[in-house]
Every structure is written in C-alpha cells, then in structure tokens.
Structure 1
Amino acid sequence: MSSGRNLLQLPFKGGKKNGGRSLADASTSNGSSSRTPMFDCNDDEGVEDVADINSNLTDSKQLSSRVTFSEESVAIGGLQADGLEHIVHVAPDEHRDGWDNKTQFFLGVISYAVGFGNVWRFPALLQKNGGGAFLIPYLLMMVLEGIPLFLIELGIGQRLQTGPVGVWNAIHPYLGGVGVSAAIVSYLVGLYYNVILTWVIYYLFKSFRVTLPWSSCPTYENGTEITECTMSTSPTNYFWNREAIDTSNSIGETNGFTVHITICLILAWILIYFCVMRGIKTSGKVMYVTATFPYIVTTAFFIRSLMLEGATDGLLYMLNPDLSRLWDPEVWLEASAQLFYSFGLGFGGLIAFSSYNPVKNNCKRDCIMLSIANLLTSLYTALVIFCVLGYMGHKNYMSCIDKDMAKAVMLYPNDYHSLADMKTKISVEEYIKWTELKFHGSVIDKMAENSAYCSYHQIIEQAAEGTGLAFVVFTEAILQFPLPPIWSVLFFLMLLMLGLGSMFGTLEGVITSLNDSKMIRVKKPVMTAFLCGSACIIGLIFSTKSGQYWVSLFDHFAGTYALMGVAFFEIVAVIYVYGFRRFCRDLEYMTGEKIGNYWLITWRFISPTIMLVLFTCSVFKSFTSTPQYLAYNSETTHQHKVDYPTWALFIAGGLVVLAMSPVPFVYFVRKFKIWTAEGDIPAVSCYKNCGLKCLGSTPSTTYMLKSQMSFNRMVESNASEIQNIGLSVRNDQSKSNGVNTSKGGVSKNTGVAQQKGLVSSNKDKSSSENINSTALAPIKENVPTKEIKTVFKPEIAGNCLQKSSKWTNNQPTMQQYSIFDL
C-alpha cells in the first residue's frame, strides 16, 4: 500500500484529460508539494494514508468494529466511481441480529416463500388456465420478472443491512414511503393469512378422533340425516361450510361470530407471538421444522396418492396443455400475480431476511438456488394435488354415470333393445355411445332434464379451488386412505408449518421496519406483542359468519393490487434512483462475480415494463368489470359468483389507498420539509447536491462547498481559491474546536477548517463575513451531532461517490461515510 495516496481518489471526467488519475496525482502534477486531503474524519490533522487512518483511529479508540479501511478497486462501501481505490467496509452492526448459519437463512426464505399459495393457489391456476399450458407464461414471467425482482430484494437488504423502511429511506428520503407501504401490505396480508392458519388449527383439533367428523352426514335426533348435508355434493363440503366456518349467504350477512373459530384465531396469534417475539433468534430455530416437515409429509402423500384410482388421469390432465388459453391476457396476468405469492415479493420479508446476512455473501447464487427450489416445490405440490384431483374426478365421474344410467334404463328401456337383457348398469363405453346419440343426435323428450352429460374434464375443471381445495377436496381424499385420522393429522400439521413459516417472514417485514426506524423505542417482545394483539383484534372480522368473504376481499385487493404497486416502485427506485450501475457494483462487491447481461437487460427494460403493464391492466380490469366473489347458497348447497356490493368496493378501495398512500405522502412531506423524523437515514442515491459525510466522535462541524467551476479547476485550486469560491463553517460545540458559530464566521483561534487546510487563517472579522457572504450554499439546519460534511455538485465530481450507511444513534463513536442528498 502506498503511503502517498489520499483516502479519497476521484476520477477526472472533463477539462484536462488526466485519464483515471486521482486527486493526489493531480495535485502532484500541478507542482504542489503539499498533499492535503480534501476531507478527513479526524479533527487533529490531515491523514493521507489508509494504514495511518486505521492506526490513528484504533489508537484513539474511535474505530468501531463495524468499520475497516482497505485498498481495493471498488467504491466506498462497494459503490464505485472509476479510479477510487481506498474504500470503507461496513460490517453488520454487532447489536443487530444475524442468522446462525447459511442453512438457517435458506430454510427461512423457503419457509417464508413456500406457503398456502404453493399448495392451492398454484394448482388451482393450473387447473383453471389450461393445465400444462399455464407453465409457459409462468416460467416466462418468473425468468423476466420474478427472479430479477427477487435478487433486487435480497441484494439491497443485504447491502444496506436494514429493513424495508430503512432501505428505501437510504435509497432516497423521498422514497421512504415505499418501505412503509410494504410494511402495511405485510400487516394487512398477515391479518387474513393467519385466519387460514386458524381454520387449519380447527381441522387439526378435529382430526384427533377415531372417526373423522366429515366422513358422514350428521343426523337429527330422530336419526335421519340433515337435509342440507344430503343435498350437498359431499359430507366434507357440508362440514366445511356449515360446521367449520358456518358461512352466511353473502358478505353483508355477518350474523355474529363463530365461537370456535374466534378461539382458534386467538390461539393462532398467541402461537405466532411466541415464535417471533425475539425476531430471528426464536423464529430461526423454529424454521428448521417449518421448512422441512412439509416436504416429508408431501412425499408421503405423493406416494400414497399415486396408488389411488384415477391418479394418473389427474397427472395427464395437468401435463396436457390447452394452448388456446395462451391467447387469453388473463392467463398472463394471473401468472405474473402468482409470482408475488410464490416468491414472497413486495412484502418486505425478503429484504428483512437478507439484511441479517453478512455483507460479503453471494446473494446472486442464493437467488438462483432459492428460485429453482421454489419452482420445484410448486410443481411437486401440484403433482400431489392433481393426483388427488384425478382420484376425485374419477370418483365423481363414475358416480355421475351410475346415476345417469339408472335413470336412463328406467325412462328409455327401448333404447337398449339390442342388449341381451335389461341392465341396471351398463359399461362406460355403452354410456358414452348412448349419450352421444341422445345429445348430439335425436334428443328424446325430457332427455336433457332427466339425464346429465358426464364429462371427466368438466368435473376436474369445476373442482373446488382456493381454500376449498384443501378443506373439501383433500379432506375427502384422506377418507380413502388407510387410517384416515393419521393422514389428516399429518396433512393439517403440514399446513400449519407452511402457514407459520410464511407468517414469520410476513411479520418480520413489519417488525424489522419498526425496529430499524427507531420510531417505536421499545423492546422487540413488547413491539411484537402490540403488533400481534392489534392484528388479533382487527382480525375478529374474519371470525364472523361472513369471514371467508372478507378473506377473499383482502386477498384480492390488499394483497394483489398493493403488492404490484409496491413491486413497481421497488424496481424503479433501485434501478433508476439508487442507480443501475451502482447496484451492479454493489452486487459485484458482495458476490465477487460479474453481473451478466441477463440481469442488466431485465432490470433496466423488461422487468419495469412488465410491472407497469401488469399494474395498468389490473387497474383497467377493475374499472371495466365488477369484481366478484364466490358465495355459498345454503338452499342449493352450491357456490356461485356474485358481485361485491358497493360498500364493500369502497372498503376494498380504502385498503388499496391505505397501502399505497405512504408513497406520495412521504414524498410531499419530505419534499416540502413539512416534517423531518429524527434519525432518518440519509439517501445514498446520487441526486442533485451530493456530499461526503463522516460521523465520528469529533465535535460537530459542517463544511459546505458549491461551485460552478469544473472539477479539475477546483482540484488544482489552492486553499485560498477554494475560500473565494465560498465556504461556510458551523460549529455546534464552539469550545471544543475553536470555531465561532455566530453568522458562520471563523474565529481568531485556529479552527477545524484551518487544521484541514481548507481555509487560510482569518483574523479579520470582515474577512470571515466575506467568506460567509460568498458562500453559495446555506448551512443545512438540524445537522446531526458529531458530523462533518463537504458538499459538491455531482457534475463537478463526475461520478458521485456513494456509501450505503445506517445512522446508529446508540453508537456515538462510529465512523461512517455516506453520500446524502440535500
């Protein structure tokens, strides 16, 4: 390491062609023998060499364990302007939680990302959108949208070492609302997501019986079966709609609380609290179970379901593509939206999880491995689901044929005159020939109303979706397994683990944001108790008899629409505000690998375009068609789609506004300086007037320099010329450094500015006033304590140096560098 180079070496881009020479090189070439650093963190004297800085700070016990100085061909903190060699590495705060090992992080992300959406949302979309044909748009959207956004969240959280709110504050203060929106979305999604966990707990309790309660219809006191159950498609369907959630006929019919669901809801939130009350220190241990147990149970179900009759037909249906569905724009929209749930994008949980990683971690490799694992998990669970759907479809198809043929033989015996005898049951082939004749040939009177056309594919397509897939279809399939109660316990334990893992990540996005923002200065267990308690109280609306309809409303509006908005702002903030090249250099610094063209093209062009089109089309669809939900009709015992009432749509719109309003609100508040929160993280984006800041144990002094001169001219200027450009000095502790604070003047004593070599000694008061009067930049108010700043225009410096940093109020001796926006 050379001892003749300054701490900061800037490139030259304009004026005289100095190539990539540094500040020190330019000084030498100008014939100046003195090489005084433009900026230093020590108030004693200018220090030129990196080793000297390390030694000096260590000796004076000013160097925090988070900061080390080294010489590498990267930027300050990994954000480089070409030619900068000396950098500052900021290690994770020792007071901040961290993963015990890499395995824990992997299991945490898998447990968070793989949830209920993989079990029933993804298979339902396959079922609805052409089977295997849906995989084409899904894979394309995953490659062009999902994986790039996945790496952005992992990378930016790991680099800045803070939660969602802190990250977007650091990107730019005006974008702080993006983090707040992500936290609100996580909170709203957590409200209804935990209700599904509540239903799982109820079914789990009911599974500890010799005979499962949904295996047969309940009876009246006289022994006859309840009429609603006999009219229903199956006892499992009746048990779900009447015994479990006791659903009403519409969202407007609240009809009071369902007591057992309310009790299970409270138990669910208590369970969540004890799992996350100390952050990843407690949830990280639980994730060893929540991430691995579902795979064990899924494998057991896959092996058993393959033995069911009709399972192979279900797999063939899944893999057989209906390519005509690809022309439907709705399919592409649903494929894109599904990625948010499959990968957990936009919630802030991934940012929170990655912020607990060490800065030097290959997050790009993590992104690819986790994306592949997530995709394979979705496909694996879909195989199990379609095996069960194949069995249920085969069973219902044969039942349909049996009922139809019994009617046909009685009503139309003459049609079977060719048979040797009158059959009460005919073969499937004979039935198909007969129905083709009757429905596509000469239709006999009353044929349509007395017979039904049984179609295996139609039955599969009309199978239950969403929550009904788990609580109706799967529970009925379990009845066909040997020892049904054991399989039922395993199944709902698996769902419980999936739900817990997803809730850990969802709430971690909220908890980490509040904890890092320092807005609520209470211990994490107390903060978590408040979050869980408030969510439990608000969540009581889901334990009413119309609870499942409220779940659908929250899922459709608070989840989908708000998530797409947050994700769009995220990618724009990182690529176009934080800086596309800076983020790439960040990743190269963290991973030690070059960023390929795939990432460059998707981040800059493809992903933002897809996000914008997706969000626009979704909003357009909501205005051109009335949103609907599936409502249960107790008279017909079937579900049918109905329009949301107007008041419900107002509530839905309010949820979207609540989730997205922090983005413009924070922008205007900070843009017009209506309110400035203490402890805000300064922006690391290069925007307008940029400067270099050192937070240390030195007295608070502020230097601000603005000039229209070229950067080369400024570098070649001597101290007196810089003084003539304009310099203001402000000292919050005048007794400590000898700088007079009145009017920003410089005292007769040797001040900090003189020690830096930035100004000459000015004993004349008028001279100091002249300095202040020629200053081109006013002193920024509310300067944080123990801060030194030098400010220059980005067009002067060529490339703004940037350093991602974090304010640490409880560590006053920390040395940090940062670029901030004025």
Structure 2
Amino acid sequence: MKTKAQASVSLLAKSSSVETEIDSILESQTWDDKDPVTWSTIVCASEAQASATRAAKAQAWETQAFEAQARASYPKQTSVLEAATVSVLKQEPLNENVHVTEKEESEALLTRPLWSTKVEYILAQMGYSVRPSSFWYFTTLWLHSGNCVFFIIYTLMMFLFGIPLLFLEMAAGQRMHQSSMDVWKIIGPWSGGVGYASFMVCFITGIYLNVVNGWILFYISQSFQFPVPWEKCPLMKNSSGFDPECARTTPVMYFWYRVTLKASDRIEDSGPPVFSLSLPFLVSWCLLGALTINGLKFTGKVMYVLVLVPYSIIICFLLRSLLLEGAKFGLQHLVAPKISDMFNISIWCLAGSQVLFTTGLGFGPVTSLASHMPQSNDCLSDAFVVALVNLVTLLLVIPLNFSVLGFRSTVTTHRCCEKNVETLIKLIDLGKLPPDARPPENLHDNPISIYNTWLSSLPQHIKSMVLSEVTECSIENQFLKIREGPSFAFLSFIEALSFLPGSVCWSIIFFLLMLALGLSTTIGIMQAIIFSLQDTFSTLRKHTKLLTVGLSLLMFLCGFFFTRPSGMYFIRLLNEHWTVLPIIIIIIFENMAVAWAYGARRFLADMRILLGRPISPIYGWLWCYPCPIVLIVLFVTILINLTMKNITYVAWDSNISKEVLRQYPSWGLLLVIALFLTVILPIPVYFVYCLVSGIPFRSKSREEPMIPSKSLRLSVQIMPSKDVQKEEILQGDKTKCQSTCPVTS
C-alpha cells in the first residue's frame, strides 16, 4: 500500500509536469502567428501527452480508491499512508507533516451530487429556459418586427452568440464544479464580483416570477366553475343587471384587472397586499419548496413531469387549434414577411435581447446546473440541444398562438356583426334611421362576409349614417390588437378558450401548462441560489432542507411587495426595463473572464483533454471578438433607448374601464438606475480589491491545477479505470496522431 501511494504521487507529479508543458506551448502561440506544420505537430504531441496524462490520473485515482478501502478496514490507524493520500488529493508534493483533521474528513464525506442521468440534466436546462412569458412576448415581437423576418434574425443571433455563450457558461460550471457565485473568481480572479452580481439578479427575479405562478394558481382555482367567470360579466348584487364597469369592457379584461389583481389606476397608487392573491402565492412557494427540498435527485425526477407533459399538451393544443374557425386567417400573419425590417438595427437588438432571455444566460442557473455534471460530459452538444429545443418550441407555440388568436378575432367579429344588426333594427324601428338602412337578419352562415357585403353596397350617405351609430367590425383590427402587449395576447388566448365547447376543461389544462412551465423556471432559479450558497459556505451542505425552507420563507415575505394593487406595474418595470441591463454586463464580464483572463485557447485545450476530442477553435474566436462586440452594441442601444425615450406602461383606468398608456414617474427611472448600480456594484468592488491586493489578472498556471476549494479537493470523485482501457486510449491516440500528423525532421 505504501508503494502504491508513492507511485500515485509520482504519477500525479508527472501528469502535472505534462500539463505544464502543454500550457506553456499553447500560451506561446497567438491567434495570428501559427505555422501550420508546427502547429499540427504540437497538436499531435499534445494529444499523446494528454492521453498519457489521463492514464496517469486514472491510475492515481485507482490507488486512491484502494487506499480509501484500506482505511475503511482499519479506521483507527493513522500513518504515513494517510498523509500520502491527502497529498495526492491536493496534488502537492508529499510532506511528512501533513495531517488529516476531523473537519477535513467530515468535508470529504460531502461529495458533490451529480445528476442521475444526462436526460434529467437536459430537461432541467430546458425547463429553466422555456419561460411562459416568452411565448406571449415573442408573439407580439413577431407582429411588431417583420413577422417571420424576426424569427430569421433571432435564429441568426442564436447561432452567432447564443450557442457560444451557452456553451461557455455550461463549460465553466462543468469544468470547475462550482456554481455561479464562485466559478468566475476561479477562472478570472478579477471577475470574481460577477458571481455576486449574478446571484443578486437571480434572487430578485425569482421573487417576482413566483408571484406570476401565484396568479396562475388563482386562475386554476377559478376555472372549476361553469361557465368560467371571465366568459360573462358578473351580475350586480341585488340586481339583475351586469356590473357597469365590466359592461364597458370585455369580461376577460375586467376579471384580470379588477378581480384577480385588484389593480390600481397608476403605479403611484399603493395599498396593502391583495388578500385573494395571498393564499395562491403561499401555495406557489410551498410547491416550489417541496420540489426542491429533497435535493438534486428528486428534482431530476420532477423534471420528467414538468417538462415532458407540457410539451405533450402544447402538441395537442396545436393540433386542435389548426381545426378552429379563423385559424387560417391567423396563420396568414405568421408567414407574411416584411423584408425591409431585415435592415432595422432596433429589430436586431430586440432579437439579441430575446436570445439572452430565452436561453437564460447571465442569471446563474445554466452554470449551476452544469456544475453537477461529470467533467467529461460533452457540454458543447448540450448547448446545441438546448438551443435547438428552444427554436423548436417557438415553432410549435407561435403557430398555436396565431391560430387561437385568429379564432378569437373571428368569433369576436361575428358577435360584433350580430350586435350591430340588432342595434340597427332597433334604430330603424324607432325612426332614427331610414328603412333603406335595414341590414340582413340572417347572418348564421357567414356573418362577417354577409354583413360587410351589405355595408359596402349601401349608398354613401346611408353608409355614413350607419357607421355613426355602430362600431366597425373588422377581423383585421381585432387580430392586430395583440400588438398592444404580451399581457393582451395572454388575455386574448384565455378569452378564445372560453369560446370553445368544454371551455372549463380547456382552461384548466391551459393553466396547468402555464403552471408547469413557470415552476420549472423557478426551480432552476431556486437551485442556482441554493447551490451557490452551499458552494460558498460549505457548512450549509449539511442542512439543505433547512436552507431551502429559510430561503423560501425569505423570498415569500419579499414577494408580498408585488402582490399589492400596483405590484403588476413594478413587475413590468423590472422585467421589461431593468433585467436586461445587468444581464448584459454580467455576460460581458463572464466572456472576458474566459476569453482574456483565462485564455480562450487555454480553456478549449482544457475542455479538449476532458472531453477527449478536439473542439473547433471558432468558439474561441467568437468569444474573443464577435460576442463582446455584439453585447456592447446591444447594451449601448438599450441604454440609449431607456434614457432618450419616455418609458411607459399599460395601466387600467377604472373610470372608462379600459387599458391606457401611462408614463412611468421620474422616480421609476431612478429606481431602475439605482437597482442596476446596486446589483453590478460587486464587479468594480472586487476589481479594486484584486488591484489593491496584488492579485494577478490571469488565473493560476497549470503548475497549480485549478481545483476550486478545499471541500471540493476533499470530495474528488473516484473515476474507475482499467489498465486495458488506458492502453486502448493511448494506442488509439498514437494511431490517430500517426495518421494525421506530418513527418517532420
């Protein structure tokens, strides 16, 4: 056993020296001064050396496993062998004075949990990135920004910097086995504040996103009524008449603003939390806590339900929507391109910001979830899978939305025509209109076509008299009302479901779909917060359940601010005007940490050794040049729009029972700026700290392998390997090198 321990020490020392040689060769090369033959020779030599390194490490880990089993058989003996084992784990020269303390032994038992299967991990990444609000926002962007041209721009932006940055975050978490709070200070010491900024944004976003889950739970509780309460206006108490405020608008609008949210007329109007939302909000936090309290293994099983079931529901909804009346009219707007918008810089910026939101970059969960995968996992293919699933989801949801909204516009226009006919007949009977203005009474076959044909055939003076008494019934105008914002598209979808036979069943299924998507997103955010705190404070790993309960309680109490009558306006202010600013700054510094502080080529070389296959250098080039440029342009454009234009919000005016456009007060803009400066403050503070402390800009050299913390060093997972497998790897690498490398003198 003593001989094996000394052998493992020498093997690790040898592997460290090999890595040092590889790193020195890579560091000496630049992007512009590579000779093809020399570089090819270096790459092949690196492959052989990397293979030898992996084999040496594998043998060392086997020795560790043998020693650990021996210590388990003789727990009371403490000898030089234990000191040798500790030195192997720390990858430092053997020191006779090294002792294993009880604290280190207890920390060694707290190994980092890994996902049970890769499928669970991919589902968790998908569930986090697919947010329900993105569906409605993307629908309005599609109509505002060139229809299918916007999707083409969005797809180009996804491949230009979305996938490379997604790969960067996944690789960083997986390479260092650390969550978002600590991983960046390891990769680039001067970028240590990025993790704290990301943690704060993730915390604030998680608070108000779970408020939205509370809204959905309230709608689910109200859906078990026939008819659903937003299908017709409620009757007045002790009266047979309808509520006059509801009669002036649509029932679905009235239910949303006056029943669900108890919305105030403006953001300045405050008030206590809405009591009817308190219980659903509490239930949403109980659900979230129950789904995360049992750790990673249980959460992975939950993702099968929260991700796969919603996709099944979306497909069923899509097939049903294509059979609805008016679906064809809605799909016409889906494929009508506006080529001129291809050259609009603002549309490119909208598409870029939407890529950041739909992939969930900068918030931290992508890195945190990836940190619980084995280091040899192919995270590049994972990034492609998540991005492609994102695109496929949009290709499913957008036709669904357009079909249902086309159906809603058709039904609404039908009812408008029928109501106009009733009104005109009454006016003619009262003598206010001439008999020539009498409309056709039979509109059952095709109300829109019959009514509009009749109206067009009227003499101009009679037509003017008719239009002065009734509203214009235009299916095009009804459809384009969803341009007014994502909330209107959401409410229009709910209203359309109330027109379907079996509206109660369809409503329940739809809100369960929204709840599953909302919970899967907030679970990713909650896991990122928990993992970050446990990685920073290792003692919290022993009390995961207590930590989850404490965080849930704290965030629940903070979330009461957004359940007030004006809470919805604050959520819109943060979601539409604040979140994107710190996220872009965070992603810029993450990119700099990998591309410039650690070195893009060096990082890709590390990943190549771990994955066992080469990675295209195009990703390093994208990290170094296009990605920072795109992000800076995006940030400057959004900042100019925020400061030069008046930021507005859609509010409910109870006097006229309609949505109105209001301007945020001056303190609203100051609040956005103050909150932005607060969350990014750790970045310059940590930068100054490193400058004063003399901490180098670049990370540690390969002579000191980047194992992030003591607890992680003590919890290194044993990777079993056989001598035959090592020989096969070495032989395969030698064969590959001989077949691809040129012979040089």
State the TM bucket, normalised to the shorter chain: 0.7 to 0.9
Out of 1, 8, 18, which is 2:17 matched to? 8
- Kindly indicate whether the alpha-carbon contact (under 8 Å) linking 2:368 and 2:528 is maintained by their aligned counterparts in 1: yes
User: Number of residues paired by the alignment?
Assistant: 642
User: Aligned AA for 1:109?
Assistant: Q
Aligned to 1:560: 580
SS at match of 1:613: helix
- Kindly indicate whether the alpha-carbon contact (under 8 Å) linking 1:405 and 1:424 is maintained by their aligned counterparts in 2: yes
1:646 aligns with 2:666: yes
Aligned to 2:305: 289
Aligned to 2:244: 227
**In the aligned structure 2, how far is the partner of 1:53 from the partner of 1:214?**
64
Aligned to 2:571: 551
Distance 1:461 1:803, change over 3 A: farther
1:147 aligns with 2:182: no
Deviations 1:35-55 (CA, angstroms, capped at 9, x unpaired): xxxxxxxxxxxxx99979986
- Kindly indicate whether the alpha-carbon contact (under 8 Å) linking 1:406 and 1:425 is maintained by their aligned counterparts in 2: no
**In the aligned structure 1, how far is the partner of 2:673 from the partner of 2:125?**
31
Residues 27-42 of structure 1 mapped to structure 2, 5 A cutoff: none
**In the aligned structure 2, how far is the partner of 1:648 from the partner of 1:119?**
27
Out of 625, 637, 661, which is 1:605 matched to? 625
Higher helix share: 2
SS at match of 1:95: coil
**In the aligned structure 1, how far is the partner of 2:634 from the partner of 2:57?**
52
Aligned to 2:709: 807
User: Aligned AA for 2:17?
Assistant: L
**In the aligned structure 2, how far is the partner of 1:102 from the partner of 1:247?**
44
Deviations 1:759-805 (CA, angstroms, capped at 9, x unpaired): xxxxxxxxxxxxxxxxxxxxxxxxxxxxxxxxxxxxxxxxx656331
* Deviation for aligned residue 1:281: 2.9
User: Aligned AA for 1:541?
Assistant: F
Q: Which runs of 5+ in 2 are unaligned?
A: 1-6, 29-37, 43-55, 68-79, 92-107, 719-745
- Kindly indicate whether the alpha-carbon contact (under 8 Å) linking 1:192 and 1:554 is maintained by their aligned counterparts in 2: no
Task: Provide the aligned C-alpha RMSD in A.
Answer: 3.7
Distance 1:655 1:7, change over 3 A: closer
User: Aligned AA for 1:607?
Assistant: C
Q: RCO greater where, 1 or 2, for CA within 8 Å and sep 6 or more?
A: 2
Bigger mean CA deviation after superposition, 358-367 or 396-405:
396-405
- Kindly indicate whether the alpha-carbon contact (under 8 Å) linking 2:89 and 2:713 is maintained by their aligned counterparts in 1: no
Residues 57-456 of structure 1 mapped to structure 2, 5 A cutoff: 60-61=81-82, 62-63=84-85, 95-220=111-236, 221-232=238-249, 234-403=250-419, 423-424=440-441, 428=448, 449-450=468-469, 452-456=471-475
* Deviation for aligned residue 1:654: 2.0
Residues 557-596 of structure 1 mapped to structure 2, 5 A cutoff: 557-596=577-616
- Kindly indicate whether the alpha-carbon contact (under 8 Å) linking 1:66 and 1:93 is maintained by their aligned counterparts in 2: no
Deviations 1:181-208 (CA, angstroms, capped at 9, x unpaired): 1111111111110011000111111122
- Kindly indicate whether the alpha-carbon contact (under 8 Å) linking 2:17 and 2:703 is maintained by their aligned counterparts in 1: no
Deviations 1:144-199 (CA, angstroms, capped at 9, x unpaired): 12111111111111111110011111012221110111111111111110011000
**In the aligned structure 1, how far is the partner of 2:231 from the partner of 2:57?**
79
**In the aligned structure 2, how far is the partner of 1:49 from the partner of 1:200?**
52
Aligned to 2:551: 531
**In the aligned structure 2, how far is the partner of 1:597 from the partner of 1:175?**
23
* Deviation for aligned residue 1:352: 0.5
**In the aligned structure 1, how far is the partner of 2:640 from the partner of 2:455?**
43
User: Aligned AA for 1:487?
Assistant: W
Aligned to 1:635: 655
Distance 1:66 1:152, change over 3 A: farther
**In the aligned structure 2, how far is the partner of 1:505 from the partner of 1:365?**
20
SS at match of 2:660: strand
SS at match of 1:632: strand
Residues 448-527 of structure 1 mapped to structure 2, 5 A cutoff: 449-450=468-469, 452-463=471-482, 465-470=485-490, 472-518=491-537, 521=540, 523-527=543-547
**In the aligned structure 1, how far is the partner of 2:60 from the partner of 2:551?**
48
Higher strand share: 1
User: Aligned AA for 1:287?
Assistant: M
- Kindly indicate whether the alpha-carbon contact (under 8 Å) linking 1:157 and 1:167 is maintained by their aligned counterparts in 2: yes
**In the aligned structure 2, how far is the partner of 1:5 from the partner of 1:811?**
19
**In the aligned structure 1, how far is the partner of 2:200 from the partner of 2:15?**
46
Aligned to 1:768: none
Distance 1:152 1:377, change over 3 A: same
**In the aligned structure 1, how far is the partner of 2:136 from the partner of 2:163?**
22
User: Aligned AA for 2:525?
Assistant: T
* Deviation for aligned residue 1:356: 0.4
Deviations 1:22-78 (CA, angstroms, capped at 9, x unpaired): 9xxxxxxxxxxxxxxxxxxxxxxxxx9997998699582433699599xxxxxxxxx
Aligned to 1:540: 560
**In the aligned structure 2, how far is the partner of 1:8 from the partner of 1:615?**
43
Distance 1:383 1:67, change over 3 A: farther
* Deviation for aligned residue 1:578: 1.6
Bigger mean CA deviation after superposition, 103-112 or 429-438:
429-438
Distance 1:65 1:265, change over 3 A: farther
User: Aligned AA for 2:81?
Assistant: S
* Deviation for aligned residue 1:647: 1.8
Distance 1:510 1:406, change over 3 A: same
Deviations 1:612-649 (CA, angstroms, capped at 9, x unpaired): 10011111111101211111111222212211111222
**In the aligned structure 1, how far is the partner of 2:381 from the partner of 2:267?**
46
Identity among equivalent pairs (%):
25
User: Aligned AA for 2:203?
Assistant: Y
Distance 1:664 1:243, change over 3 A: same
TM-score, normalised to structure 1, is 0.71
TM-score, normalised to structure 2, is 0.78
Distance 1:402 1:480, change over 3 A: closer
SS at match of 2:499: coil
SS at match of 1:358: coil
Deviations 1:335-373 (CA, angstroms, capped at 9, x unpaired): 111112211111110101110000011111111112111
* Deviation for aligned residue 1:483: 2.2
**In the aligned structure 2, how far is the partner of 1:299 from the partner of 1:362?**
29
Distance 1:483 1:177, change over 3 A: same
* Deviation for aligned residue 1:545: 0.8
Deviations 1:714-734 (CA, angstroms, capped at 9, x unpaired): xxxxxxxxxxxxxxxxxxxxx
Deviations 1:737-758 (CA, angstroms, capped at 9, x unpaired): xxxxxxxxxxxxxxxxxxxxxx
SS at match of 1:462: helix
Distance 1:625 1:320, change over 3 A: same
Distance 1:66 1:265, change over 3 A: farther
- Kindly indicate whether the alpha-carbon contact (under 8 Å) linking 1:185 and 1:558 is maintained by their aligned counterparts in 2: no
SS at match of 1:63: helix
* Deviation for aligned residue 1:525: 2.0
**In the aligned structure 2, how far is the partner of 1:813 from the partner of 1:215?**
58
**In the aligned structure 1, how far is the partner of 2:227 from the partner of 2:374?**
51
* Deviation for aligned residue 1:403: 4.8
